[in-house]
């Protein structure tokens, strides 16, 4: 057989090489179409999502793995030195290890996202956490691949340790943002989708965490980029923790001679109507009216309602003020001033 292979003309070698690689690739496609398709149908009937994630990653990579096997087999068609054949074998194995590592990283990211959704329906995994998981798994896979092709990894690890110290000193600020971002993501005190207010007064919804900054989407439609260490050091009010629903207090001042019984009744009626009619209101929660202080202008009143989330407060406040003004005016109650009250979680 060795004699026959060495006596082949170059054209025949190319034909057999291309045919072998093509046949291996077709076999990979057939495995996807027959075996993986059946496994996918079985996975769809199970309650968990881990098997679906595994099958999805396998479907993406099986044709490529079959292609690598075809390359390795076709190497015997060529009159190569034993060392060259061994090199090709090690390289294809290393590439396969990196591809498997990439599949494991993809599965791990999907499983983490699935676990987060099971703990909290709206919990999203940040880009920072995805990248950290991928980088950790890929680093391990790269070391295994290097070991497979004969590279001694002990000096590499030592060099990485010394080089890591030098990089840490040179990139102090970027690393500060990186570790601050990891702390924020792991602590879980603020998450993607949370509406927060920073100490200077900046507020918005967290869109994503990256390795160096947090993206904050404001109500004006702009995107504010905040360095992670600034967010970690700031005083932050999270309107989504411990629950998303928030209290909205609309304050107004009525004239000293006003009938407070009428004011209280109208405040309750308006609060109930707005909670029932306006999106974001919570009709199951009874509004309240509280007289809070005597002022030079009259008596200050707070109409307290509750919204499903902080971003619903603008429309609810608008309707409460509009309807209160109309109802109190019709009842003959004089408003000294209308103020925007504070709200709290």
344 in Cβ contact with 247 (< 8 Å): yes
Q: HSE of 94 in the Cβ direction (CA atoms, 13 Å)?
A: 16
Whether the predicted pLDDT of 111 surpasses 80: no
215 in Cβ contact with 225 (< 8 Å): yes
3-state secondary structure of 252: strand
Quote the mean pLDDT of the chain. Answer: 80
Give tens-digit pLDDT for 71-109: 888 887 777 777 777 777 788 888 888 888 888 888 887
The structural domains of the chain, ordered by start, are: 2-150 (no CATH), 184-238 (2.30.30.60), 246-344 (3.30.70.1130)
The pLDDT confidence band at residue 3, using thresholds 50, 70 and 90, is very low
Model-wide pTM > 0.85: no
Token representation of residue 159:
């060099």
What contacts 306, CB < 8 A, 6 or more positions away?
245, 246, 247, 248, 275, 281, 282, 285, 287
The pLDDT confidence band at residue 267, using thresholds 50, 70 and 90, is very high
Closest to 193 measured CA to CA, from 164, 215, 210: 215
Whether the predicted pLDDT of 342 surpasses 70: no
The Cα–Cα gap between 68 and 85 comes to: 14
245 in Cβ contact with 307 (< 8 Å): yes
For residues 122-146, give the mean pLDDT.
73
Closest to 204 measured CA to CA, from 194, 212, 190: 194
For residues 152-172, give the mean pLDDT.
59
Q: What is the pLDDT of residue 39?
A: 82
Closest to 300 measured CA to CA, from 332, 337, 268, 345: 337
State the DSSP code for 188.
-
Percent of the chain with pLDDT over 70: 80
Give tens-digit pLDDT for 311-341: 888 899 999 999 999 999 999 988 885 444 4
């Amino acid at each position: 057989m060795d004699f026959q292979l060495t006596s082949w003309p170059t054209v025949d070698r190319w034909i057999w090489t291309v045919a072998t690689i093509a046949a291996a690739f077709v076999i990979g496609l057939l495995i996807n179409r027959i075996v993986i398709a059946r496994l996918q149908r079985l996975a769809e009937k199970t309650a968990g999502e881990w098997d679906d994630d595994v099958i999805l990653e396998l479907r993406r990579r099986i044709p490529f793995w079959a292609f690598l096997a075809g390359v390795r087999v076709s190497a015997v068609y060529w009159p190569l030195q034993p060392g060259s054949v061994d090199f090709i074998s090690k390289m294809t194995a290393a590439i396969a290890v990196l591809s498997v590592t990439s599949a494991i990283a993809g599965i791990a990211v999907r499983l983490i996202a699935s676990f987060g959704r099971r703990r909290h329906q709206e919990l999203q995994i940040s880009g920072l956490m995805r990248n950290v998981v991928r980088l950790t798994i890929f680093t391990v896979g790269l070391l295994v691949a290097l070991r497979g092709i004969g590279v001694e990894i002990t000096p590499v690890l030592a060099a990485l340790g010394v080089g890591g110290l030098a990089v840490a000193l040179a990139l102090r600020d970027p690393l500060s943002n990186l570790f601050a971002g990891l702390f924020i993501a792991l602590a879980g005190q603020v998450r993607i989708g949370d509406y927060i207010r920073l100490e200077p007064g900046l507020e918005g919804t967290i869109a994503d965490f990256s390795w160096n900054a947090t993206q904050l989407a404001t109500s004006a439609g702009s995107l504010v980029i905040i360095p992670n260490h600034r967010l970690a050091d700031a005083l932050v009010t999270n309107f989504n923790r411990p629950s998303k629903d928030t209290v909205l207090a609309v304050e107004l001042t009525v004239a000293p001679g006003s009938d407070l019984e009428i004011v209280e009744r109208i405040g309750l009626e308006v609060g109930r109507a707005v909670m029932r009619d306006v999106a974001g209101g919570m009709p199951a929660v009874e509004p309240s009216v509280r007289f809070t202080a005597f002022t030079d202008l009259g008596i200050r009143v707070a109409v307290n309602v509750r919204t499903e989330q902080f971003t619903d407060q603008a429309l609810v406040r608008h309707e409460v003020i509009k309807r209160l003004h109309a109802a109190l005016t019709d009842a003959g109650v004089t408003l000294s001033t209308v103020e925007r009250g504070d709200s709290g979680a």
